[in-house]
Structure 1
Amino acid sequence: MAAGAALPYGTWPSPISSELVVRAAAGLSDVRVDPSTGAVWWSESRPDEGGRITVVRQDPATGVAQERVPATHSARTRVHEYGGAAWWVADDTLWFANWDDQRIWRRGPGDDAPVPVTPEPAQRHGERFADGVVSSDGGWIVCVRESHVAADGTALDEARNEIVAVPARADGGGEPVVLVAGTDFVSSPRLDPTGTRLAWLVWDHPRMPWDGTELWTAALVLDGPLPHVVEPSFLAGGPDEALVQPEWTEDGHLLVVSDRSEWWNVHRVDGTGDLEPLGPVDAEVATPPWVFGQSRYVVDPARGRIIAALTRAGTDALAVVEQGRVREVPTSFTAWSALRLDGDGRVVGVAAAPDAEPAVVRVDLADAGSPGIEVLRPSRDLGLAPEWFSRPEPIEFPTSGGRTAHALLYRPTNPEVTASTEERPPLIVTIHGGPTSAARPQLSLATQFWTSRGFAVVDVNYGGSTGYGRSYRRQLDGAWGIVDVDDCEAAARFLAERGDVDGDRLLIRGGSAGGFTTLAALAFRDTFAAGASSYGVADLAALAADTHKFESRYLDGLVGPYPESSDVYAERSPIHHLDGFDRPLIVFQGLEDEIVPPNQSEAIVAALEERGVPVAYVAFEGEQHGFRRAENIRRVLEAELWFYGHVLGFEPADRIDPVELRGA
């Protein structure tokens, strides 16, 4: 192809292939710094290894990185099904929850292989562990346990969540000892510097942890016959205040992130439970705790300051909070997570930018105005010039009820093609999951896959998304299936009316909660030409009956209590409103999904096929909620591209195996 040739949108040849999307990809998540050695540890999710999660240790002297979880294991927990914080380090020893059996395993610095710590449960995956901290003497792991079996080995009607102490040095027989119980959910057990006080968070149905939580503390006794807590006491929080990430300071003060001021800011907790804001700012320090162990701020005791990631208008910045003032640190990164502090007062974390995938970096803030940045674990070398990447443009647009909603617009970008002047590009409206979540302005090859082929993409942060304050986050209360659909439709119409995209070639796609919004938009509106749903919700009542404990009452807030509001559930469920659902649909589903079970996708596919609506169904054995295996990630991208070409009448430049269309 001659450089600069004009080609129809959607047909542009691109080096950003489905194979490149997954090649040597590694999802970087948690980061730890071992205070005893200064070594930095991080976890990597690897699609080309079936989505296995390994843990890597970087030698502080040589910089050499060594994998510490063997290929036979995967450091991933099933607590809350979404997991997170599945591994912990102390004294150069790694403990991790293993995916296959959910037991805790240990690997010391001289061990050739890990050994199990906790016993084999009576039922597979019957006991699960997450969010741990190792006691100062290395003898105990204090963590969250989720039990699905009773003491006699029978299955529980509902899983039981507790904070337990696990003998850290046991070899397969480390029976956990219950420290905290009695609430529906617990998280964030944190030991003070002396190891004698424990802080933690709790909440009960029907709240979610971004709605309202409570902060508790107690004296902790680990050196008696059995570990136990003494005089547990409530400190702060409640049904309308979401507390996140409690942390102890070196001098024994307790900090926590609270949204009582509208924004998730860091506060100090006094002895009476009152909260003092340490640096009030109209920005969010926290993100919704879908997974355990998220760390968005660290305490720098030597300098008497806090370093935090702030989300403002959907974009992250690193900031220093000192003496009540907040100063943003100039960097090129727009997304931060997993912040830790090393022994020299430097911040270590995962950072990404619009032209850079996530990397593990270390930031020296000796001069906060000119930080020194060292990349410890670089993102992969894509072999692409920056000109290939479409940069996100934050946009605001009017929507229903006089509201303003937010999105990130990615324009078609390909340096080897001249955009046609005779047409406008098709638009893919992408809907994040959750729905309490957000699209972030960082490089995603899955997005660039589309923009480099001539599609515009808009990532919509509809009402209910995070990063814009508590009031914006609560816009979905009782309105899921309305506000989100309104905002996604408004984003598409706004861009079409502005002349950015072709209003006759609007597509919509999403996964999980985003899949529900996709199905609802196609069932209740006539704006979109076609849609793609990945493990989406078609029947709200069925979801309320079938989903796992963590989200079993989530719909109480998003839709209404069930069964009292069963009529609303029926009104909002796409499966019950197919008269206007006449646009083609492609559906992707993992067959081991316990969050949105396969029966949701199977029901909508069967119903549309019966009505003669073109529908494709692509199911994957061995996949859960979200696709982790390289071959399946590739198939989703390619099948979706083929589907859009079929619907819109263009031939992709890629060679793709076609998809079976039913009902056509």
Structure 2
Amino acid sequence: MNESRVHLNSDEALHQAASPADGLGDLRADESGVFWLAADPVSGARRLWHWCDGRAKALTPSEMDVASHVNGYGGGAHTRLGDTVIFVAGDHQMLYRQKLTGGDVQPWWSQPETRYGGLLADPLRQRVLAVEEKGNSRDASQCLVALNDDGRCVLAEGADFYDAPTLTADGMRLAWVEWNLPHMPWQRSRLCIADLGSDGRIVQQHTWDGGSAVTQPRFAADSSLIVISDHRGWWQPYRLTGDTAQAIGDIPTDHVPTPWQLGECHHLWPKEGGLLMRFQEGAATLWQVDEQGHAHRRLLPEASRIIGLAMHEQWLYAITQGQSHAARLVRVNLGDERQETLFALPTPDDPPLPTLISTPASETERVTAFVYFPDVAGDTLPPLIMRIHGGPTAASYPVFDPLARWWTLQGYAVADLNPRGSGNWGRAFRERLAGQWGRLDVDDAVALADELVARRLVDPERLFLRGQSAGGFTVLNTLASTQRFRAGASLYGVTDAVRLASQTHRFESGYLDWLLGDETAKHDASPVNRLDTFVAPVIFFQGGRDAVVLPDQTLFMAAALRGQGVKAEVVLFPEEGHGIRHPANRRRLIARELAFFAAHGGDVP
């Protein structure tokens, strides 16, 4: 499928905006072809695709969602084993298998109340390695297992969490990442390396602990082990020899995003060097480097976000987004630099390009935003929608976003803020929210609004906020702290930190202590306990099956605001979880949000 550029009218732009901007992911490649997930434009289900012999085809039915729910965020939901693919069904987490040649999917493995993710094929032993999570979300336990037609073998247990199993080419060495509560994987984790016997069981194991966090271990072509660690303040690659870690390169920048999902890949090490991502001013760049990490050429220069990498023989495969293109799967021949687009989401012929805006956050710190501007006549200043990403350690990227384009077609400017706490800017920046969430991020939102107003880029009387998950917490706390904004939209946002800490799933069960502090601090920072300072109206969007931010928290917050005389609307999607995925539901969300902002001062002539 070649990349396509199309001219869209407003209705068509709305339909495109209802599709996830990063609708491709979970990339794998080997001698049988390339495998990835793509969101179905009709059902919203993530389908498994296969590219081979010059053509792409969907392997899984349109109604079947392929997704892991381990840790609530999943990742690594498929792998190839022989002439079949093994994948996780999103609704009940059963493992299925399907022939590459097609046919019906067949059940392969399941256990009650069990989820799987981070799948990795072990072709030597005809089995699949996986992170197994058993039990309900609050009291679950994890282990690293091997599964085959004959049964299940536990390889590692005892830690609270596991991620990133990886094997040497000969299948005789295994590495993975593990960590314990109350930490998140980017706060404190360790690397485990093991020798495997002929039966596939661990015969010898040791641990490398750099004193900080590790992620994405990879065995190079020469079987040396390379891992990303941030013990020196940045996510940087290190080559391990025993307990000695040698830095590869010396550029002080993050080389991977914050590890929220299993099975991610942002660096590869074929013969004579590697393929390494680096962040520059919040944008991802991809480089071919030598064994010491010195760059000798940049690859895919049009990309500003790298969603995933894979490689087979001389071909590098990448899922990327760029400032002027939607998500696409490309491949590059590292020998002659030929480049091909294998699969792409449609890109309009007039994508709005982001402008980098930087503003002081303190005497020594700056925060940045990527701003998309509409076409306006004369000296007219557009209204602003400021978007706050989730996490709060996620990040906004300077990429084509169909939703941002749709907003600009309606006459709005759109600003994607990276407040303190965001990923991709180093450990110190990511950890600035320790005990300060709901304060520093609010300051940053106000500072950006002031900067855009001072530059006469937006209308100071028509400023709006929008945030999802952790970003919703920032939106609500900002509205409770200032009357600078006319209205806000909270998409499955945190409202009550005390209740969230006691009810949310196990993966994040200790995170709020780090972000906010003790129970008193959580209480004081919760928007639900700041009702008397709200003035601006709020619209809430909530999934009925959300296991991260429970629906009753959103319903209670909205009712409490109405009790204070503040206008508060709730749009509930009963079948959705933590995120609104179905295209029809997303279209409904976007239309209701626009109508809400327009009704509260954002109407554009």
Paired residue for 1:231?
Answer: 204
Which residue, 409, 416, 419 being the options, matches 1:452?
A: 409
Paired residue for 1:137?
Answer: 124
Cα pair 1:309 1:337 within 8 Å, conserved: no
Which residue, 223, 228, 237 being the options, matches 1:266?
A: 237
The change in CA–CA distance for 1:651 and 1:259 in structure 2 (over 3 A counts) is closer
Cα pair 2:285 2:305 within 8 Å, conserved: yes
After TM superposition, give the deviation of residue 650 of structure 1 in Å: 2.8
Paired residue for 1:500?
Answer: 457
Paired residue for 2:343?
Answer: 377
After TM superposition, give the deviation of residue 207 of structure 1 in Å: 0.9
Which residue, 320, 328, 334 being the options, matches 1:359?
A: 328
Paired residue for 2:142?
Answer: 161
After TM superposition, give the deviation of residue 177 of structure 1 in Å: 1.7
What secondary structure, in the 3-state scheme, does the structure 2 residue paired with 1:419 have? coil
Paired residue for 2:47?
Answer: 54
After TM superposition, give the deviation of residue 529 of structure 1 in Å: 1.1
1:34 aligns with 2:30: yes
Letter aligned with residue 98 of structure 2: R
Query: In structure 2, what is the Cα distance between the partners aligned to 1:492 and 1:349?
Result: 35
What secondary structure, in the 3-state scheme, does the structure 1 residue paired with 2:449 have? helix
Paired residue for 1:9?
Answer: none
After TM superposition, give the deviation of residue 473 of structure 1 in Å: 1.0
1:308 aligns with 2:261: no
Report % sequence identity. Answer: 33
The change in CA–CA distance for 1:17 and 1:249 in structure 2 (over 3 A counts) is closer
**Aligned CA-pair RMSD:** 1.9
Which residue, 495, 507, 523 being the options, matches 1:538?
A: 495
**1:79-228 equivalences in 2 (<5 Å):** 79-110=70-101, 112-119=103-110, 121-122=111-112, 126-148=113-135, 158-167=139-148, 170=149, 175-221=151-197, 223=199, 227-228=200-201
Higher Rg:
1
Paired residue for 2:584?
Answer: 631
After TM superposition, give the deviation of residue 420 of structure 1 in Å: 4.5
1:641 aligns with 2:605: no
How many residues are aligned here?
595
Deviations 1:158-193 (A, max 9, x none): 1001000101xx2xxx54221101011111111122
After TM superposition, give the deviation of residue 26 of structure 1 in Å: 7.8
Deviations 1:98-140 (A, max 9, x none): 1122111111235621222214x33xxx111111211132521
Letter aligned with residue 313 of structure 1: E
Paired residue for 1:655?
Answer: none
Q: TM-score, normalised by structure 1?
A: 0.86
**1:285-300 equivalences in 2 (<5 Å):** 285-300=255-270
Deviations 1:237-256 (A, max 9, x none): 33xx2211001123221110
What secondary structure, in the 3-state scheme, does the structure 2 residue paired with 1:117 have? strand
Query: In structure 2, what is the Cα distance between the partners aligned to 1:317 and 1:251?
Result: 25
Give 5+ residue unaligned stretches, structure 1. Answer: 1-12, 149-154, 653-664
Query: In structure 1, what is the Cα distance between the partners aligned to 2:163 and 2:525?
Result: 32
Letter aligned with residue 101 of structure 1: H
Paired residue for 1:390?
Answer: 352
Paired residue for 2:387?
Answer: 430
After TM superposition, give the deviation of residue 342 of structure 1 in Å: 1.6
Letter aligned with residue 296 of structure 1: H
What secondary structure, in the 3-state scheme, does the structure 2 residue paired with 1:603 have? helix
Query: In structure 2, what is the Cα distance between the partners aligned to 1:598 and 1:457?
Result: 28
Deviations 1:33-88 (A, max 9, x none): 123x3x11111122421x211111112x3x12121112353211110111111000
Deviations 1:449-482 (A, max 9, x none): 1112111111110111111111111111111111
Paired residue for 2:62?
Answer: 71
What secondary structure, in the 3-state scheme, does the structure 1 residue paired with 2:588 have? helix
Paired residue for 2:316?
Answer: 347
Paired residue for 2:5?
Answer: none
The change in CA–CA distance for 1:574 and 1:156 in structure 2 (over 3 A counts) is closer
Cα pair 2:310 2:316 within 8 Å, conserved: yes
Letter aligned with residue 546 of structure 2: D
Query: In structure 1, what is the Cα distance between the partners aligned to 2:372 and 2:583?
Result: 25
Which residue, 319, 339, 347 being the options, matches 2:287?
A: 319
Letter aligned with residue 227 of structure 2: V
Q: TM-score, normalised by structure 2?
A: 0.95
What secondary structure, in the 3-state scheme, does the structure 1 residue paired with 2:424 have? coil
Which residue, 493, 518, 528 being the options, matches 2:475?
A: 518
Cα pair 2:288 2:297 within 8 Å, conserved: yes
Deviations 1:599-651 (A, max 9, x none): 22111100011111111110001000111111110011111110111000636
Cα pair 1:465 1:472 within 8 Å, conserved: yes
Cα pair 2:383 2:602 within 8 Å, conserved: no
The change in CA–CA distance for 1:643 and 1:111 in structure 2 (over 3 A counts) is closer
Query: In structure 2, what is the Cα distance between the partners aligned to 1:547 and 1:444?
Result: 30
After TM superposition, give the deviation of residue 278 of structure 1 in Å: 1.4
The change in CA–CA distance for 1:52 and 1:26 in structure 2 (over 3 A counts) is farther
Query: In structure 1, what is the Cα distance between the partners aligned to 2:137 and 2:64?
Result: 27
- Runs (4+) of structure 1 exceeding 6 A deviation are 23-26
The change in CA–CA distance for 1:548 and 1:23 in structure 2 (over 3 A counts) is closer
Query: In structure 1, what is the Cα distance between the partners aligned to 2:392 and 2:498?
Result: 17
